Amino acid sequence: MTTVIDGRPRPYSARWWIRDMSNLDLKPSPTACGGEASSGPVKELLTGRQVPLGESTVVRRLLPNLGRRMVGAWCFVDHYGPDDIADEPGMQVPPHPHLGLQTVSWLHQGEVLHRDSLGSLQTVRPYELGLMTSGRAISHSEESPRPHARFLHGAQLWVALPDAHRHTAPAFDHHPDLPVVTAPGLRATVILGTLDSATSPGTTYTPLVGADLALTAGADLGLPLVRDFEYAVLSMSGSVDVDGVRIEPGSMLYLGCGRSELPLLARTDAAVLLLGGEPFDEKIVMWWNFIGRSGEEIVQARNDWETSSRFGEVHGYDGARLRAPELPSIPLKARGRVR
């Protein structure tokens, strides 16, 4: 059996299939997503692909990537901006559903107004954690406030929920004050998990870490790591050498496992996101805004978004909610890590 990927016929195999996560793509083509959890240190430089998000925002998608699909439980990474939106609507993402994951909104510039089907209404500002746990089902919207700041710059990240917790009750938490670790030339804000004994108040369901590292030009240091975690570093701004590899904004360096320290050298004032965690070994199916364990579960979630009240209603957004894309013509298969 064959399918068509990127305009070329490819043999079909029972692999982990995902589609482009663009919320506006209503006729997506399936994409095979490869990659393995590394058992030791590696240095794999990943570049983002541009994806439209909402009406006026284009993001650089780093995960899932053809060469790397997860980093610990982190399964989705978008980097956007800095964008001058002074005369634009900015971020406008209509109500849409989520299942089986957590979303992390992280800003360096601008503001994002979050609404969800729980009745949450919260403006998330730079260096504040907006953490939504979809659990069994939730829907939400994201938009730039009116009026809004001139520049928008940030990252949107997802964390896959393990099977034991993926049916938990949905929740939204806003944490404006997060712990900070400092060293000469470094200010590290702990987004999720623990870094150097500082622990975020954000709820986690697997061992992981997310931290925003602000570096001053010339900073040369070693960041302590957990050897059992796999890691990646996303460049937000400036120029940094990560274990001797130069990374520029919008790129991400996958580092593998087995590291107890990470060398960092800031060529300019810079900021990077450190993402890590224990390798996520469960088999999952990831399609559109859903993470499940079988194709049948994904089909049911899509149908429920279109026909039932399972995901609730988002009130107050000025516009219609998103319609679900058409399902791919090939089976949705689950695939786990290969260690």
CATH number at residue 48: 2.60.120.10
Q: Establish whether 98 is an annotated binding residue.
A: yes
| Residue 296 host element (H or E) | helix 295-307
Residue 327 is assigned to a structural domain of this protein: no
Tell me: pLDDT of 161 over 60. Answer: yes
- If one counts the domains in the chain, the total is 1
Instruction: Answer yes or no: are the C-beta atoms of 219 and 266 closer than 8 Å.
Output: yes
Place of tokens 């978008």: 78
Q: Establish whether 114 is an annotated binding residue.
A: no
Max CA distance (Å), the chain: 58
Instruction: Answer yes or no: are the C-beta atoms of 299 and 95 closer than 8 Å.
Output: no
Sort 333 into a burial class: Cβ within 10 Å, 0-12 / 13-18 / 19+.
middle
Q: Establish whether 175 is an annotated binding residue.
A: no
Residue 30 is assigned to a structural domain of this protein: no
Pairwise pLDDT comparison (331 vs 263), residue with the higher score: 263
Using pLDDT thresholds of 50, 70 and 90, give the confidence band for residue 325: very high
Helix, strand, or coil (residue 168): coil
Q: How much of the chain, in percent, has pLDDT values that exceed 70?
A: 85
The predicted structure's pLDDT at residue 13:
26
| Mean pLDDT confidence for 277-295 | 93
Using pLDDT thresholds of 50, 70 and 90, give the confidence band for residue 331: low
The model's pLDDT over 102-142, given as tens digits with 9 standing for 90+, comes to: 999 999 999 999 999 999 999 999 999 999 999 999 999 99
Q: How much of the chain, in percent, has pLDDT values that exceed 90?
A: 77
| Mean pLDDT confidence for 23-39 | 46
**Nearest-angstrom CA–CA distance, 277 and 189:** 17
Residue 74 is assigned to a structural domain of this protein: yes
Residue 140 is assigned to a structural domain of this protein: yes
The predicted structure's pLDDT at residue 16:
31
Residue 25 is assigned to a structural domain of this protein: no
Residue 135 is assigned to a structural domain of this protein: yes
Q: Establish whether 142 is an annotated binding residue.
A: yes
The model's pLDDT over 50-71, given as tens digits with 9 standing for 90+, comes to: 887 655 567 899 998 877 889 9
The predicted structure's pLDDT at residue 39:
73
Residue 338 is assigned to a structural domain of this protein: no
The predicted structure's pLDDT at residue 328:
81
Residue 333 is assigned to a structural domain of this protein: no
Q: Using alpha carbons only, what angle is made at residue 249 by residues 243 and 252, rounded to the nearest 5 degrees?
A: 50
Question: What is the domain range of residue 180?
Answer: 44-307
Helix, strand, or coil (residue 298): helix
The predicted structure's pLDDT at residue 4:
27
Eight-class DSSP state of 307 = H
* 232: nearest Cα among 6, 3, 62: 62
Instruction: Answer yes or no: are the C-beta atoms of 189 and 180 closer than 8 Å.
Output: yes
**231, two tokens:** 């890691």
Helix, strand, or coil (residue 76): strand
**221, two tokens:** 């240091």
Place of tokens 């240091």: 221
The predicted structure's pLDDT at residue 56:
59
* 131: nearest Cα among 167, 94, 170, 164: 170
Tell me: pLDDT of 338 over 50. Answer: no
